[in-house]
Structure 1
């Protein structure tokens, strides 16, 4: 029995410095967002920026490396699994078949367009895939989740998150202004916001700016879009395994955590969990993802980011325009 309890101690002591550092940054970022009162200010992005600042201004001690790596893998995947408890199959039904078609077609078209545009612009395949996922699905969370299959460098992940954050923020500010010009209101406007804006918080903020009906439609549409993250990762993983793409092992991993995400959606749809648990689960998921972003920042070298130049930023801009126009067109058509 003493041997069983002693085994985790060396591992815990190795992980503690990096985990405490990343979790501490996540806690400060979360408190900063709460103190600001700005719902659309994403703690995950704040945590990543803080991690980058610490890494490039002061450096990160070598003892923190194991804990940072742990935050980038098991902690991240646990956060994505818990994200499934925010979604239900009933939400899909509320959107309706035309709405779901608009959301799914916008997602697929944006992902494929961004990948193709990245090839034309000469942007690295992995970075293009991450920008495509962030633009097509749900911003930083999608970038992190897809990278479990893509396996890009940390600098690529940071660059992709920066891209989708900047352009998602522009959408959050611009969509309510464009609503009047385009004579969009209510559920149609909300569906457009949910189908086109990058981050969940950004989409919800922009949708509610046009009233309660638009806000509800935008929230449900955005969460339905997030649900499509699971099949996207499974498809990318299957394609990567078939082509044998993986620098380390010769094959890409099966993203088993996605099955956990799907199971969480199923459990939430069955209404098995008490309502009192939904708030803590959502908070835990957000904190785990914020911790992972802090760890990502702690491993990001700004010098390497500069070497990538402006082409990936141009790709992010193209993806932003494409998803906005395509989402609008499909919402109006369907």
Structure 2
């Protein structure tokens, strides 16, 4: 979130990390419209693609970033769209994460119970720390390792892009991390429902295991409900409680990034990432949703709007991602994603077995 020396004009390329930085000045609306319209069109197309056979298992966010990358690498992102694309990745993303808080309540956390929260929190913390440590062993760049760690341990693609507001990795790193959590989360979604009988898990235990370890909310729902209503409902609640931990994780990473910047010998103006204030908006929305009864119809609209805005942000991310740069990163990050997936699967299962 460093200050950028690049102007976001229609005839200038976007800075390396304008998404997470402070642009000198936000372009006026006419300059933003082409990029906003393009990002929104891709997001809308992603919602439409989910209606096709076989694609309903993927969230619109995943389909949006894939479509954005395809458009950028086959046709190219129009220069006139650059300012609006950067705005989608920065401002639209933060607003969407704030709205995400309206899907969570303190009551849901209480419903999970002390044991469930223990399993979720320890699985998340253990997976994040293990992934960052393993990334160091495998020689994966620290920023990319943090993104894979966040996506695996918290909530998939939305955690990756939220974490990058303080990690400030390259767009290709974000795309790679999203690809990792999508692939391995999809594997979990297919494999988990085959295992309850073999592992002697009742509906409650299976729901908790699914919610504590599968990457995306949609993947948790798809897997957990295959074992019945009780497993599905508890798995969803456990997953939402896990999503709530996104706020403290991003705040902690932001503080650590600031500390590294202060000891890195760089000027603070260019190196110090400011505190991610949008996280406090997320927390505020959780508080409001906990004390104010939001009508079911309004909540449905909010959930859809939030997913659409997140899809816009990921579509914009895809529009800035080059396949050649992804390929250059090699297979080590993929190996890290697979190792992190195996860790959270086995570690959370052990905790569930020990506490239920």
> Partner of 2:270: helix, strand, or coil?
coil
* Counterpart Cα distance in 2 of 1:114 and 1:284: 32
Given candidates 47, 50, 53, the residue that maps to 2:70 is: 53
Uncovered stretches (5+) of structure 1, i.e. residues with no partner: 1-8
Q: Are residue 62 (structure 1) and residue 62 (structure 2) matched?
A: no
Matches within 5 A, 1:122-201: 122-201=139-218
Distance change (3 Å), C-alpha of 1:10 and 1:300: closer
Aligned twin of 1:219: 236
Q: What TM-score comes out, normalization by structure 1 length?
A: 0.95
Q: Are residue 271 (structure 1) and residue 292 (structure 2) matched?
A: yes
| 8 A Cα contact 1:95 1:221, kept in partner | yes
Distance change (3 Å), C-alpha of 1:216 and 1:273: closer
Aligned twin of 2:323: 302
Q: Are residue 289 (structure 1) and residue 310 (structure 2) matched?
A: yes
Give the CA RMSD over aligned residues: 1.6
Distance change (3 Å), C-alpha of 1:161 and 1:269: same
| 8 A Cα contact 1:134 1:161, kept in partner | yes
| 8 A Cα contact 1:154 1:300, kept in partner | yes
What is the deviation of 1:38? 5.7
* Counterpart Cα distance in 2 of 1:184 and 1:287: 35
* Counterpart Cα distance in 2 of 1:62 and 1:38: 31
Matches within 5 A, 1:225-236: 225-236=242-253
What is the deviation of 1:31? 1.6
| 8 A Cα contact 1:39 1:205, kept in partner | no
| 8 A Cα contact 1:186 1:211, kept in partner | yes
Deviates more, 1:47-56 or 1:246-255: 246-255
Distance change (3 Å), C-alpha of 1:46 and 1:10: closer
* Counterpart Cα distance in 1 of 2:71 and 2:52: 22
* Counterpart Cα distance in 2 of 1:26 and 1:34: 14
* Counterpart Cα distance in 2 of 1:51 and 1:154: 12
Q: Are residue 316 (structure 1) and residue 333 (structure 2) matched?
A: no
Aligned length: 326
> Partner of 1:260: helix, strand, or coil?
helix
| 8 A Cα contact 2:27 2:83, kept in partner | no
What is the deviation of 1:42? 1.0
